[in-house]
Structure 1
Amino acid sequence: MSRREMGLGLAAGMTALPFVAHAAKMVGIRQHGAQGDGRNIDSGAINAAIEAASRAGGGTVLIPAGRYLCFSIRLRSKVTLMFAAGAVIEAADPERHDGHYDAPEDGIDQLYQDFGHSHWHNSLIWGDDVSEVAIVGPGLIDGAGLTRDGPGARWKKQAGERPLSMRGMSEADIAQLEPAAAAMRGKGNKAIAFKNGRNIRLSGFSILKGGHFAILATGTQGLEISDLSIDTDRDGIDLDCVRDVKVERCRVNSPNDDGIVVKSSYALGRAVAAENILIRACAVSGYDMGSMLDGTLQTTQQIAPDRDRVTGRIKLGTESNGGYRNVRIEDCTFTRCRGLALETVDGGVMEDIIVRGLTMREVTTAPLFLRVGDRRRGPEGTGIGAIRRVSISDVHATGIDHRFPASIAGLPESPIEDVTLTDIDLTYLGGGTAEDTVRRPAELADAYPEPSMFGVLPAWALWVRHAKGLHIDGFAARTQSADARPPFVIENAPGLRVERTSLWSVRR
C-alpha cells in the first residue's frame, strides 16, 4: 500500500472502524491495479484487494478518491471497505462496457417473491453468508449501469399480485417493468445485497440510483445501517427476514417505491419472521430522483409506476409470510410521500409494534394504513395473518390527500387487535363530497394492500373496519377546505374507547 493510501486511511480515522481488528491490515486498491479514471473496469482490482485482506485473516480495503467503474464486487468476511472523500464506485453498464455482473443464483424458487428478492449475486456489491463486514466512509455508490427492472413472482393468482391502481395498464406496460428472467442475464439490479449475513455495518456513504434495491438484506442478523443518504429509482432499504437490526439517521428518497421497508418473504424457502428491528431518526421522501442528493428537491414527478402518487414512506409489508415481531419506528420524518403502512397479507403475524414521533408533510396517500389481508401468496396451507398489539403515538401530519384518511382495515375473520392511537394530529386538504359519504368499500380481502385500494373513503379523518380493542386517546384533525364527509366512520369495532378528540372541518 502506498504512503498516500495509508494517509487516506489515517485521515478517515482508524478509531472509527466498526471492527477495530480490521485496522491491523490495510490494503490499497491501487496497489492491485485499480485506475479510478471512470473508463477502465476496476472491479477485478477491488476484488483482488478484498481477497488479499481476507487471506490475511481480515483487514481494511482503502478506496481513495477517484471514479471506479465496476461490475460485481464480492465481499468477504472480516473485511471493511473504506471510502475516502471523493471516492465513487460506479456501476458499469453491460450494454456499453466490456463485462457483466455475476449471474443470479440457480436453484432459487421464485414462486412467492419476485426476481429481485430471489437473487443476490447479480448486484454491484454483494455478500453471501459473510460476517464482520463493513462499508464505511464519505464515498458515493453510483448505480448508473444498474437496472431497476426484473420479473415478478411466478405465483400468478389473478388477484393480489399487483396494486389495484395498475388495473388499467396493458400487458406491454407491465412487460416493460417486469421483463423475462432471460433478459436479466449479465445485468445488475441491486447496489448492495446480503444473504444470511451476520454483524454487518454500513455507514457514512451515499447511493444514487440503486436499481431494484439500493440495499437488500435477507436473512441477516446484527445489521447496523447509519448516516446513509440514498436517492434511488426504486426501493431504498429492504430488510427481509432479518433479526437484530438498527437503521438510524438515514435519508432515503424513493419516489417510485418504498423508502425503508421491512419484509418477511419466502425468499429463503421458508417462512422467517422479521424481528427486533429499530428504525430511528430517519427521513424518507418522494422528491424527483437525484434531487435530494443535489439539494434541489424537485417536485416534477407526480405519479409512481403503480399509478398512485409518489411513494417514499416506511412500510412493513407487502411480503409477509413470516410476520413481524418487536419493531420500533421512532422520530422519523416523511416528506412528499405516502404515510406509514403496516400490512400483513401472506399469513404472517404482526405483533408488538411501537411507532412514535413521526412528522409528515405533503402526504400523498393515507398518513397511517393498517391492513390485514387474505392474499396468501405462499405454499399450500398458508393461512390468514393477524395484527395485534400496535402502539402509535405523537404523529403530526399535514397536507394529506383528502381521499385517504388514516385507515385501520382488518377482516371479519381476522380483526386488527389492540391498537392504541395516542396524540395524533392530522391536517387534510379537504374536498370530500356528499356522494362520498355513502360509499361502502368492498372487503377486497385478496387484493394487494395499498391505501388507494378502497377508493375514496366515506370519512375524512379516520376510517376503521374490523378492529378489536382499539383505543384512541388524543386525536386532533382538521381540513383546510370544505369536506362533506364525517370525520370518523367506524364499523365492527368491539371494545372501542375514544378519549380527547378535536375534529374540525371547514364548512361549505
Structure 2
Amino acid sequence: MIRRSLLTGAAALIALPALAARGLFDVRDFGARGDGVTVDSPAINRAVAAAVKAGGGTVLLPAGRYLSFSIRLFDNITLLLAEGCVLEAADPAIHKGGYDVAEADLPEQFQDFGITQFHCSLIYADGADHVSVIGRGVIHGKGLVREDPGARWHGVTGWIAPRSADPKEVAMQGKGIRALGLKNCRNVLVRDITILQGGHFACHLLGCRNATIDTILVDTDRDGIDVDCCRDVQVVNCRVNAPKDDAIVVKSSYALGRKIVSENISITNCRTSGFAMGSVLDGTYRASDYRSVDDIGVLGRIKLGTESNGGFRNIRISDCDCENTRGILVGVVDGGVLEDVVISNIVLRNPVNHPLFVRQAARLRAPEGTSVGACRRVRFDTIQVSGADGRYPCGVQGIPDAPIMDVSFRNVLVVSSGGGTAEDAARTPKEKRESSLEVSFMGTLPAYGFYARNVRGLTLTGCTFEVEKPDARPVIVLDDVKGGRIDGFASNTVVQKNGSDITTVS
C-alpha cells in the first residue's frame, strides 16, 4: 500500500495507485494534505500532470481544506471537488508563493486588466478541449483580489503602454484575480460547485465554444458569471448573489485582440440577487449596505453589453428570478451590433433602478476608427415587476446618430412606488452620447411607466404600469420615436415629442 503522505514529486507519476489506473487521480496520492495550512497547489498540479500523461482523467479533491495558488487544467481533465472539500485561494502576502503570471500585454487594453488576463486565476485553462470543474465542494476565494488596474487605452488620461511601464499592472504580478477562468476552451462543463468570494470574477469564460454552466451557487462581492466572446453557451439553474457588481453578464470585449461576436447564448432558470456577500450561502439573506458610485445601491443584475466590441447575436434570457438587484440592462456602447435578443418569463422583485432598459451609446472603448454600432430586434415578453422605485421606469434610450431599432414589450406588468411630481414630469433627461451602459446619469425620468428616446420601431402590447402613490407624470413619454404601436393606453396618458407614425390604441 502506498502511503499518501510520502508520495511526492516524480514518484507520484510512477507509482500511481489503482484508482489512477481507472482514470481517477486523488490529490492526496500526490502529496496534498488538505489541512488548510499546507499550500497544496504543487501536489494538485502534480495530479493534473499525471492525468495529462495518462491521456486525461478526473483529478479528485476529497473532503478537506486545500490552500492553493494557481491550478492549470488541460485537455480531457475533470477537476472534481468532492462534498466537504474547500479549495481556498492562498494569499501571496501571507503564504509562500504566488499565482501564475498574467499572460497578455496588448498595446492597448480596452477592458479591465482582469478581463484580459486569465493565468492569474485560482483555477484556469487556456486552449483546452473537454475540460470540466464539477462537484459539490466549495471554492473560497479568500486570498483573491477584487480590484484591478482597470482599462489601458488611448481614451484614458495618463495612458501607459506597455504593462512593464505601468506600476499598477506590475504590482498585480503574483496576485490572483478570479476563482475560475476558462479561455479559448471547447466543450466546457462547470457544474454543482459553490464559489464564495470569487475575486474580481468568480466564473469567467472568454472565447469558449460549447460550454455549460449548470447548477452552481456563486456568492461574491464582484462579478458572478461572465460569458465573453463565446458561442453556444448555456447558463442554467444557477444562483448568483453579487451585491457589488453584475451577477450574470454577457460581454463581447477586445480581450483576445480582435472583435468576436458573442452568440447563441442562453441564460435559463437562474436566480440573481444583491444581498450581503455570504448571506445567500448561509441562508440569512442579509441586506447589503453597499452604495455604488452613482449612489443607487446594489447591482446583482443580469446584463448584456458592458463591453460590446464584437457585438451580440441570438441571446435568450428566460425563466429567471431577480430579487433586490438592478434591473435587466442590455445594449451596446463600444461598437458592435446587438440583435435578436429575447428576454422572457422574468420575475423582478424590488429592483433598485430601471426594471428593463435598452441602451445605445458611443463610449467606444475600442480600437480607433470603430463605428458606433447598432442595437435592434430586442423582445421583452411576460415579465412581472414588483416593488420598483418610482423614479426609474422601464425604457429605451438611443442617441441621435444611432437610434435603437425594433424593440417590443409584451405582457409586462410593473408595480412601482410612484410619487412623481409635476416638476419631474417637466424634466428633459440629459443626453450623454459618450457614456457607459449604465443610465443612472439620466436621473428621475418624466414618465412613471415607460420612457423612450431616439428609437425607430417601438411596440408596447398588453403592458400595465401601476403606482402605489399618486403620480403627476404621464404613463409613457416618447421623444424622437418614429414608427410603432402603443396598445392599451388612452392617448392623454402618452406624451409624444418630435415623433411620428406612432399608433396609440386605448
Q: Same fold (TM over 0.5)?
A: yes
Aligned match of 2:198: 210
The CA RMSD over aligned residues, in Å, is 2.2
Q: Could you tell me whether the CA contact under 8 Å between 1:487 and 1:503 is conserved in 2?
A: no
Q: Could you tell me whether the CA contact under 8 Å between 2:264 and 2:315 is conserved in 1?
A: yes
Equivalent residue letter for 1:244: D
> Cα–Cα, structure 1 residues 47 and 305, in superposed 2: closer, same or farther, change >3 Å?
farther
1:157 Cα deviation from its structure 2 partner: 3.0
> Cα–Cα, structure 1 residues 96 and 353, in superposed 2: closer, same or farther, change >3 Å?
same
Q: Could you tell me whether the CA contact under 8 Å between 2:344 and 2:383 is conserved in 1?
A: yes
Aligned match of 1:379: 367
1:414 Cα deviation from its structure 2 partner: 1.6
Q: Could you tell me whether the CA contact under 8 Å between 2:104 and 2:116 is conserved in 1?
A: no
1:377 Cα deviation from its structure 2 partner: 1.2
Aligned match of 2:112: 114
More deviation, 446-455/495-504: 495-504
Equivalent residue letter for 1:238: D
Aligned match of 2:86: 88
Pairing partner for 2:336 from 345, 348, 359: 348
Aligned match of 2:309: 321
Q: Could you tell me whether the CA contact under 8 Å between 1:332 and 1:358 is conserved in 2?
A: yes
1:376 Cα deviation from its structure 2 partner: 1.2
Q: Could you tell me whether the CA contact under 8 Å between 1:241 and 1:274 is conserved in 2?
A: yes
Pairing partner for 1:199 from 178, 187, 193: 187
Aligned match of 1:460: 448
> Cα–Cα, structure 1 residues 182 and 407, in superposed 2: closer, same or farther, change >3 Å?
same
Q: How far, CA to CA, are the matches of 1:158 and 1:42 in structure 2?
A: 40
Equivalent residue letter for 1:389: R
Query: Structure 2: 5+ residue runs without aligned partners?
Result: 5-19, 160-165, 494-506
Pairing partner for 2:28 from 22, 27, 30: 30
Q: Could you tell me whether the CA contact under 8 Å between 2:269 and 2:320 is conserved in 1?
A: yes
Cα deviation 1:177-209 (Å, max 9, x = unaligned):
x99212212110100111111111000010000
SS state of the match for residue 324, structure 2? strand
Aligned match of 1:150: 148
> Cα–Cα, structure 1 residues 430 and 141, in superposed 2: closer, same or farther, change >3 Å?
same
Equivalent residue letter for 1:35: R
Moved over 4 A (4+): 1-4, 501-505
Q: What pairs with 1:62-461 in structure 2 (closer than 5 Å)?
A: 62-155=60-153, 157=155, 180-304=168-292, 307-461=295-449
Equivalent residue letter for 2:258: R
Aligned match of 2:11: none
**1:60 is aligned to 2:58:** yes
Cα deviation 1:237-275 (Å, max 9, x = unaligned):
111100000000000000000000000011011111100
More deviation, 476-485/274-283: 476-485
1:155 Cα deviation from its structure 2 partner: 2.4
Aligned match of 2:46: 48
Aligned match of 1:168: none
Cα deviation 1:390-416 (Å, max 9, x = unaligned):
111011011111211101001222211
Cα deviation 1:339-375 (Å, max 9, x = unaligned):
1000201111000011100001110110011001011
> Cα–Cα, structure 1 residues 110 and 46, in superposed 2: closer, same or farther, change >3 Å?
farther
Equivalent residue letter for 2:129: S
SS state of the match for residue 429, structure 1? strand
> Cα–Cα, structure 1 residues 47 and 138, in superposed 2: closer, same or farther, change >3 Å?
same
> Cα–Cα, structure 1 residues 490 and 204, in superposed 2: closer, same or farther, change >3 Å?
same
1:449 Cα deviation from its structure 2 partner: 2.1
Relative contact order, CA 8 A, sep 6+: which one is greater?
Answer: 1
Pairing partner for 1:490 from 461, 478, 497: 478
Q: How far, CA to CA, are the matches of 2:208 and 2:249 in structure 1?
A: 15
Q: How far, CA to CA, are the matches of 1:35 and 1:143 in structure 2?
A: 19
Alignment length, in residue pairs?
A: 471
Q: How far, CA to CA, are the matches of 1:2 and 1:461 in structure 2?
A: 70
Q: How far, CA to CA, are the matches of 1:57 and 1:375 in structure 2?
A: 47
Q: How far, CA to CA, are the matches of 1:180 and 1:305 in structure 2?
A: 22
> Cα–Cα, structure 1 residues 127 and 245, in superposed 2: closer, same or farther, change >3 Å?
same
Q: How far, CA to CA, are the matches of 2:421 and 2:234 in structure 1?
A: 44
Q: Could you tell me whether the CA contact under 8 Å between 1:219 and 1:242 is conserved in 2?
A: yes
Q: How far, CA to CA, are the matches of 2:67 and 2:469 in structure 1?
A: 52
Q: Could you tell me whether the CA contact under 8 Å between 1:23 and 1:59 is conserved in 2?
A: no
Q: How far, CA to CA, are the matches of 1:2 and 1:490 in structure 2?
A: 75
Larger radius of gyration: 2
More deviation, 105-114/355-364: 105-114
1:381 Cα deviation from its structure 2 partner: 1.5
Cα deviation 1:306-325 (Å, max 9, x = unaligned):
53310001001110010000
1:55 Cα deviation from its structure 2 partner: 0.7
1:469 Cα deviation from its structure 2 partner: 1.4
Q: How far, CA to CA, are the matches of 1:503 and 1:135 in structure 2?
A: 56
Q: Could you tell me whether the CA contact under 8 Å between 1:475 and 1:502 is conserved in 2?
A: no
Q: Could you tell me whether the CA contact under 8 Å between 1:473 and 1:501 is conserved in 2?
A: no
> Cα–Cα, structure 1 residues 484 and 39, in superposed 2: closer, same or farther, change >3 Å?
same
SS state of the match for residue 77, structure 1? coil
1:461 Cα deviation from its structure 2 partner: 0.9
Identity of aligned residues (%): 47
Equivalent residue letter for 1:154: R
